[in-house]
């Protein structure tokens, strides 16, 4: 354990468990720990580091903006804030009736959306089993995992959970008391679970038939992660009224966004909601740099190409029984409960992986990850998975 990890245990609240590494620097899709050891980053800050680490465009944008105007209150407008709002609305393909509320994170983007739905005059929300929308109290109320919810119940809201990707259950749950249906296009926390192609279109049809909103949580799937600007754009007929964003939007600088159109865009009025840092010009400049770089460097195409490469190498591994996802958001189901051991074995081999459950690995690397980085992962995975199986078996033997 490094000196930084020891100090962490004494100084930082233990909400995440002991840190696996103390990381000191990064470049592209690579990071180095405090001892100078290099790793290929297949996690990307949980889908945050879209441009990788220390990307020159992001560094320049943040530095230049901070030297110009670092922060003002939301009593005032700034050019980066307005430009980012206009850019997001344009990327969504929405018109002049769309508006954006900026915050600092995905959970806050979802909190704003939840408050927005209350302004419809209705209180009931229909969400999906397996969902994850954040850990603030409102966002947690929409999150289905019992281990996250139960220590903090009763939670706010009037939320009905239905099985993910079950159109009949959704249809039965939605009536004229429902304010909104909230869904992730691909469930990330649940292990990169992809619904059938018609789910979002059906959800919109069902919600709109009852005067409810369709709210699509693109916090993890948005900003080119799946090979499209937003994952719902891969689905024919998906017509959300509200889209929430964060993670990759700022490329590592905290920024979240709640985008709404039509009547939903004007539900929140002065005094209904607020934020100190949301729309901060530095965060907005960072997000604009991310969007410009994604477009200029064709990271949409890279996400698709590298994603197919990643899916292919995962499918070729002994022990991987299913590969899910799109673009550079992939899940791998293992043939036994040794995913956490695979994460540890991968770290020993110089790769940062993530397990979302005992049998499931999640891959959300920087969009700038190279073909050579993935080739290296493919070459190392047989040994990583073999060591993980052995470690899991040894643990069972000693139990």
361: phi then psi, degrees, rounded to nearest 5: -105, 145
Among 241, 247, 363, 373, the one annotated catalytic? 247
Q: How far apart are CA 38 and CA 24, in angstroms?
A: 10
Pairing outcome for strands 178-183 and 351-352: unpaired
Q: Write b or e for each residue in 310-331: b if 16 or more Cβ atoms lie within 10 A of its Cβ, otherwise e.
A: bbebbeebebbeebbbbbbbbb
Known catalytic membership, residue 217: yes
Per-residue CA distances from 305 to 82, 234, 275, 369, 370 (Å): 33, 16, 38, 11, 10
- Nearest by Cα to 84 from 269, 281, 218, 224: 281
Among 33, 41, 165, 217, the one annotated catalytic? 217
Among 101, 102, 132, 351, the one annotated catalytic? 132
- 154: cis peptide before it, omega within 30°? yes
For residues 366 and 45, the answer to whether their CB atoms sit within 8 Å is no
Q: How far apart are CA 381 and CA 263, in angstroms?
A: 50
Per-residue CA distances from 395 to 154, 344, 398 (Å): 37, 14, 5
| SS3 state of residue 171 | helix
- Residues annotated as catalytic are 132, 217, 247
């Amino acid at each position: 354990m490094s000196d930084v990890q020891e100090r962490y245990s004494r100084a930082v609240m233990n909400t995440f468990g002991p840190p696996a590494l103390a990381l000191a620097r990064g470049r592209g899709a690579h990071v180095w720990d405090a001892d100078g050891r290099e790793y290929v980053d297949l996690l990307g800050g949980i889908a945050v580091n879209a441009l990788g680490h220390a990307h020159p465009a992001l560094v320049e944008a943040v530095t230049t903006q901070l030297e110009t105007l670092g922060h003002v209150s939301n009593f005032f407008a700034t050019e980066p804030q307005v430009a980012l709002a206009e850019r997001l609305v344009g990327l969504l393909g929405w018109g002049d009736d769309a508006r954006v509320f900026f915050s600092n994170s995905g959970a806050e983007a979802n909190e704003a959306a939840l408050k927005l739905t209350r302004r419809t005059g209705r209180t009931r929300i229909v969400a999906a089993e397996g969902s994850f929308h954040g850990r603030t109290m409102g966002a947690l109320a929409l999150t289905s995992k019992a281990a996250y919810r139960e220590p903090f119940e009763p939670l706010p809201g009037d939320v009905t959970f239905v099985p993910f990707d079950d159109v009949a259950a959704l249809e039965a749950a939605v009536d004229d008391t429902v304010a909104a249906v909230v869904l992730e296009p691909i469930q990330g926390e649940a292990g990169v679970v992809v619904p059938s192609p018609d789910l979002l279109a059906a959800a919109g049809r069902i919600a709109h038939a009852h005067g409810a909103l369709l709210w699509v949580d693109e916090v993890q799937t948005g900003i080119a992660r799946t090979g499209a600007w937003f994952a719902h754009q891969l689905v024919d007929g998906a017509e959300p009224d509200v889209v929430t964003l964060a993670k990759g939007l700022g490329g590592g600088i905290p920024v979240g966004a709640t985008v709404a159109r039509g009547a939903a865009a004007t539900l929140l009025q002065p005094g209904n909601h607020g934020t100190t840092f949301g729309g901060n010009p530095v965060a907005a400049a960072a997000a604009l740099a991310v969007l410009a770089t994604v477009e200029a460097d064709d990271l949409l195409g890279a996400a698709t190409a590298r994603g197919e490469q990643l899916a292919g190498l995962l499918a070729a591994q002994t022990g991987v029984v299913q590969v899910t996802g799109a673009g550079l958001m992939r899940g791998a189901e293992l043939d036994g409960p040794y995913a956490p051991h695979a994460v540890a074995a991968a770290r020993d081999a110089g790769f940062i992986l993530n397990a979302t459950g005992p049998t499931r690995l999640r891959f959300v690397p920087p969009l700038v990850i190279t073909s050579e980085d993935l080739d290296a992962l493919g070459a190392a995975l047989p040994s990583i998975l073999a060591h993980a199986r052995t470690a899991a078996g040894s643990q069972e033997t000693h139990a």
